[in-house]
Each structure stands twice: as C-alpha cells, then as structure tokens.
Amino acid sequence: MYFLSEEERRLVLRRLLPQSRQTPVAEELRGWNWHQPPLSPIYEVPLGIFEIAGQYCAGGRDVYLRRVQGVQVPPNQAMVEGSVLHEVVTGIILAAKRVIYRDGAECLPALEGLPPPEPLGDDRLSAALREKIGLLWQFERHRLLARVQEALGQQPHAGPDSLVALALPMTVEQKLNGAFLGLSAHLSVDACAVAEPMIMDLKFGRPERFHRLATTGYALVMESLYEYPVSLGCIVYARFQEGRLVIERDFHIVDDELRQWFIEARDERGRLIEEEIDPGLPGECYTGCPYQAICHPA
C-alpha cells in the first residue's frame, strides 16, 4: 500500500516538494508554534484525530453524543472492515521487518514463506471479508518481495538495518503525543520517508475531501514534537473490484488552507464538548452511521 512506484516517487520529488518550498507555510501555522495562537488549544479537552478529521457527521453530533452524552454504539461494518484490513497491512510490514533483521540478506526464503495473517483464522469474519484479506495479503507480499529483491540487487552487501531502510522506508503505527495541540496523547500514524517525511493514511472507503484533515493533523503533531517541517501527505485509497485490488493515491501539500481548516474543526469540536452544545442533526445523515438509531429512533 505504501510502496510508491518510480513515477510516483518522481512526482513527489520533482513536483510536490519543490511546490511546497516555493509557497512556504505561514510560520504561525507550523506545529512548533503550538504555544501561541492560532495553534494553541482554546479548550482543555483532548481530541482524537478521528474526531476532527472524520467529518461524516457534518455538524459533529456524533462527537457530542459520544463525549458529552456518553452514548456507546458498536462500530459499523465499514469501520470494522477498515480496521481489520489496516491490521493486515501493518502486520505484514512488521513481520517482514522482523525477518530482515533476523536473516539479513538471506531473508528472501523466509519472506516468501510468510504465513497468512491471523485474521484469516477468525471464524467471526464474513466470507467476503476473508476474500478481501487474502487478496490484500497476496498483493502486499508480492510488492514487498519485489522491493527487497530490488534493494538486494542494487546493494547485495546491505546489512539488516540498511536493507530495511532501502526496501521498507516506512514507519507504521508510530506513536505520537498530541497534547501540545490539544489532541490525544496516544496517537498512531503511518509515515514514509521520501527525502522528507510524508504522512500516509490508508482508506478503504470512497474518497472524501475531509480525509486530508487527518494527514494535516498528524503533520502538525510531528512538527510540534520534532520541530522539522512536514509538508506532504498521501491518502491511499484501496478498493476491491472484480477480484482485484485497485489502488489510488491522493498526494497533497499540507498547506495553509488545510492547517487552518484543521484548527477551526478542532476548536469547534472542542467547544461542543466543553460547553456541552448539541449541534442538532446535520442536513443529511450518511448511510451506515452508527448513531442512526439514536438520532432517528423508530
């Protein structure tokens, strides 16, 4: 999912990075300025990135019901499926890194024999989801093997750490503390190194413009913690079509507009919680909302 093609890598290096440097982000919107407006949090309540970026409920009533009213509902099918599939991607990348650190340049036989992911053994999963897991696992395994083979072809004497950096230059589930920005202290993010850090987010649903708020939020948190610029994001959209896995990537610059949008959404969600404001129903409820029965009782 996170392995860029040569064309995509050149797009990032030759277009997006130069563009991000030609139009620099306003200094007050860099995460390292978390201690002053507009980044300094107005409200004390910590928020998860998903509570800000997941704007399926346009007015934020889902956040109000969960955080103020304490309403607990089970996740919908799309949420469960996305979580399981993301776990598969994370699992195979981590398993491959363990093999490389253990076997070094002799890792290929073990990588070819990586066992199927554990979720396939869960009897609670539907047959359709099992099929998707199998397709995803095969796709990732083939891509991963190709990356390692290519790296070894170029650098046959690479040590384990060097081989991981060459073939698998991404960090999955990196833990971040977003407290400086009024966010949760227990955030997890995936990131890839392409000359500069690029925030990656994996989605299995239809594209939405507000998905870019997630990459923006994580970029701000990384800047607040490490004090280096994070200007690029990429949302990976995966869909299953006629027994195949189709991948589309939304590369974007984390610019002033996105940063301002994120800050405004953070402050609005924080206000709903701290002042216990019910925003009411949105103009249109999205299909599959887990709060459907609460907002529209029969």
Residue 82 has pLDDT above 90, yes or no: yes
More confident residue, 34 or 128: 34
Write out the DSSP string of 3-39.
PPPHHHHHHIIIIIHHHHHHSPPPGGGSGGGTTSTTT
pTM: 0.94
**Which pLDDT value is given to residue 151?**
96
For the chain, the average pLDDT equals 94
Hey, how many other C-beta atoms are within 10 angstroms of the C-beta on 271?
16
Binned at pLDDT 50, 70 and 90, residue 267 comes out as very high
**Which pLDDT value is given to residue 126?**
87
What is the rounded average pLDDT of the residues 16-26?
94
**Which pLDDT value is given to residue 56?**
95
Cα 182 to chain centroid distance, Å, stands at 19
**Which pLDDT value is given to residue 188?**
95
Report which secondary-structure segment, H or E, holds 237. strand 232-241
Q: Which CATH class is domain 12-276?
A: alpha beta
Report yes or no: 234 and 215 within 8 Å, Cβ to Cβ.
Answer: yes
- Locate all alpha helices (DSSP H) within the chain, ordered by sequence: 6-11, 17-22, 49-53, 61-67, 77-103, 108-112, 127-154, 160-167, 212-226, 256-274, 292-295
What is the rounded average pLDDT of the residues 109-118?
89
Q: Return the domain boundaries, the chain.
A: 12-276
Binned at pLDDT 50, 70 and 90, residue 119 comes out as low
